[in-house]
Every structure is written in C-alpha cells, then in structure tokens.
Structure 1
Amino acid sequence: MQPRVVILDYGSGNLRSAQRAVERAGADVEVTADPHAAMEADGLLVPGVGAFAACMAGLRSVHGHQVIGKRLAGGRPVLGICVGMQVLFDRGVEHGVATEGCGEWPGTVERLQAPVIPHMGWNTVDAPGGSRLFAGVGPEERFYFVHSYGVLDWTLEATSEHIAAPRVTWSTHGRPFVAAVENGPLWATQFHPEKSGDAGAKVLANWVASL
C-alpha cells in the first residue's frame, strides 16, 4: 500500500505543486486543514511560503503547531519545506519584530547575510555522511531556493550516547545557512524539493520511503 501523506493547508501557498510531487514520489496525498486527518496520516508535510509571522498565524489558526507537537511526541514523521522548516525553530525575526515559532528546534530565523537578497535560484548543498534524506543524491546536484531568511547557527547536539545528534545539511549564500535537517521523525528542507527537478524528486522519494 502507498503511505498516506497529508499536506497541511493553513493558508500558505504552493500546495498543489507539492501534492503532485509527493504523489509522484509514491504517496497517497490529501491536502487538508483537518487536524484528525493530519494526526492519522503516515506522514505530515508542512509547506510554507512568505513571511514567518504570517505562516505562524495561519498554522496556529488550524492548530497546526499542536498537531506537529503531538505527532513528534509519538514518533510520527513530519517534513517541513521552506518557511514550513523555519517555523519549526524557536523564533523568527523580521524587520526587528520577533515571532514565536513551534520551538521544536532551538535557533532563530534571521535575515541572510549576503550582498544579494533574496537568495533565489539553484544552489548545491553539503549533506552529512549517513543522510537518509539525501541518499542517492550526488554532491554536485543543485536545489531550488527562494528565501531572504534562514537559520545561520545550529546549536542542538547529541543529548546522550543513546540519542544521536541531528544530521544538518548546509548551503551557502553570503555565509553558510541550514539547508536541511534530519532529526528523528522530524525532517525539513529550506529549499523547495518539489521545484528542484530530479534531485528534489529523489529527496521526496527518500522521505516517502522512510514512512
């Protein structure tokens, strides 16, 4: 049977292209704001386009932050994409205004430090050894980014010899920023895999296969 994936509809765009891409990756996909469906699915995909504060407001309006927390507490897979990754961190700062995020990871989403903003277009990533998300993806492959903000510092390490440190993938625009994270059932990408051709399709297929 195909794994069932819910793409959480909380008012953030780009839902249909994500749906088509995840369906091509081998999943049965539903786009909905229904928290029960989001809880029961094999995988939950949290998209995100636009401002951090607006996405958090939309997420809270459908209790998405609670659904994410409950799924992760039960070891149920979640994938965040673009701002859907950013909202998983403690907070976002835009134009000097701080907005509380979901708090699943420590860290602050802040403006990129680069001569040209936004970071728009194709870029390579530096994935760590043992990455399941990037399995079968060569280091020369490029992914599609479009963002002005990101996470520039990563502080979460292994908490004990029994709990591994998250696998963090980096990219560079001006200075390094977090491009993807694999942390138990919680995976996320700053780039748009659904817009990243064959390399993005492989990343999504890897996530679907993990379900």
Structure 2
Amino acid sequence: MLKIAIVDYGMGNYHSVARALQHAAPEAEVKLCQSATEIDEADRVVFPGQGAMADCVRTLDEAGLRDSVLRALNNKPLLGICVGEQMLFDRSEEGNTESLGFFKGVVRRFSGPAFGLNSAESDDRLKVPHMGWNPVRQVRTHPLWSGIPDMTPFYFVHSYYAVPEDPQLTVGSSLYGAPFACAIARDNIFAVQFHPEKSADSGLRLCRNFVDWNP
C-alpha cells in the first residue's frame, strides 16, 4: 500500500489535507506523521504550513523534523502547501526569518500603492491578506496539471509569496496587484501557495495527480 506522510509539526491544516488526499486516493495510507522515522519510511510526503513563518520554522525544529523534510526533498515526491512552499526558500520578510534554504529566493509581502494595509480597509485598494479564489496560469506543463485547465481558480489565503531566484522553478502564477509565482517545481518537488484541500474538484485532481506522479 502506498504510504503518504503529512508532516505534522503543529502548524498546518493537517486534517483537511488528510481528508482531501484520502478522498483523492482511497487506496493509499494517509498518515499525520510527527516522527522522522514515519516520514523517512513514507513513499510520498506532503509538507503543509499555516501561520507566521517564524513560528513554523521554530516548531519544525522543535519537533525535530527539519532533517527528515530535507531528506524527503532530496529523494521522494514531495508536495508543499502554503507556508510549506514558502519554507523551501532562503528567507522570508515576515520577521526576517531564515528558512530551509532548499531553493534560492525570498518570500515577500504584498506591498505597494495597489494594496491597503489590511483586510479591514474600505477603499478600493487590494486587501492583505489575499483571500479567496484566483485563477492560476500554468506557466509550463507539469504532470500535476494533468486534467486541470489553464486558468482554473484555486483557493488562496496569504499575505506573503515566494520569489524564486531561478525563474525556471515557476510552473504556475497568479495575479494579485501584480503576477506572482504560486506553484514551483523541480525534479521530485511540487509546491503551491494555494490550498488544494480547499479548492474543490480541481484541488482533489491535483492531489490525485500527486499520488500518481512518478518523477
């Protein structure tokens, strides 16, 4: 039986992710994993994240799971979600936090004249955080886009977004004030800023594609 480990370090929407994966792949064993051994033994790994970057990095380290995530990044299919995508890069402007540094790049906050300070402002500027459905442009083909039409909307909740140093990492982009990378991929890694587990049928299709993917 295919084993899918969801890295459970206390900062993610784990149960919703597990339900979506189990629905998309009822034949698989989907497990919330709090030990390095469970992650190491899995066939595929999902790395979610939610909340402030500094808290996510701190709790990942306190859980003793940083090295197991890095091992997975190097040797098995891995799906990063939301802050789990952001954590793959060098640093975030959120608290000037150093992260895993697997990819070169920084995580920036939505800013500039197009944006209000927060979601409570009532003028015509874009609100931060960015919340809701937004179309995703498929910058280049990838097996995880299979059966998902270009410009399909996915569900976003975020104030920060990754800026890869290597533009070839970007496989999906969205528009909020300006275009931003919302899906990255290289070799055995696919990571997204949006939430597949909250994105209805299209999110489930992406989850199924991840289960079937053989990089």
Question: Does the 8 Å contact 2:79/2:191 carry over to 1?
Answer: yes
Displacement, 1:167?
4.7
2:121 matched to which residue of 1? none
- Secondary structure of the residue aligned to 1:176 is strand
2:119 matched to which residue of 1? none
Say whether residues 1:199 and 2:202 are aligned partners. yes
In 1, the alpha carbon distance for the partners of 2:87 and 2:169 equals: 17
Question: Does the 8 Å contact 2:104/2:166 carry over to 1?
Answer: yes
1:180 matched to which residue of 2? 183
Question: Does the 8 Å contact 1:131/1:167 carry over to 2?
Answer: no
1:162 matched to which residue of 2? none
- Secondary structure of the residue aligned to 1:117 is coil
2:148 matched to which residue of 1? 137
Unaligned runs of at least 5 residues, structure 2: 116-125
Displacement, 1:69?
1.4
- 1:139-165 per-position Cα deviation (integer Å, ceiling 9, x unaligned): 2421000001112x33226xxxxxxx4
2:83 matched to which residue of 1? 83
Say whether residues 1:62 and 2:63 are aligned partners. yes
User: Which residue identity does 1:201 align to in structure 2?
Assistant: L
Unaligned runs of at least 5 residues, structure 1: 158-164
Say whether residues 1:154 and 2:164 are aligned partners. yes
In 1, the alpha carbon distance for the partners of 2:209 and 2:182 equals: 16
- 1:35-79 per-position Cα deviation (integer Å, ceiling 9, x unaligned): 001011011111111111111111111222211211233x21111
In 2, the alpha carbon distance for the partners of 1:182 and 1:107 equals: 14
- Secondary structure of the residue aligned to 1:142 is strand
- 1:105-126 per-position Cα deviation (integer Å, ceiling 9, x unaligned): 1111111133311100000011
Displacement, 1:132?
1.2
Instruction: Spell out structure 1 runs of 4+ moving beyond 3 A.
Output: none
How high is the sequence identity, in percent, across the aligned residues?
39
Say whether residues 1:120 and 2:121 are aligned partners. no
Say whether residues 1:99 and 2:100 are aligned partners. no
1:24 matched to which residue of 2? 23
Question: Does the 8 Å contact 2:141/2:171 carry over to 1?
Answer: no
- TM-score, reference length from structure 2: 0.87
Question: Does the 8 Å contact 1:143/1:199 carry over to 2?
Answer: yes
In 1, the alpha carbon distance for the partners of 2:39 and 2:55 equals: 21
- Secondary structure of the residue aligned to 1:129 is coil
In 2, the alpha carbon distance for the partners of 1:146 and 1:204 equals: 18
Question: Does the 8 Å contact 1:93/1:110 carry over to 2?
Answer: yes
1:160 matched to which residue of 2? none
Question: Does the 8 Å contact 2:171/2:183 carry over to 1?
Answer: yes
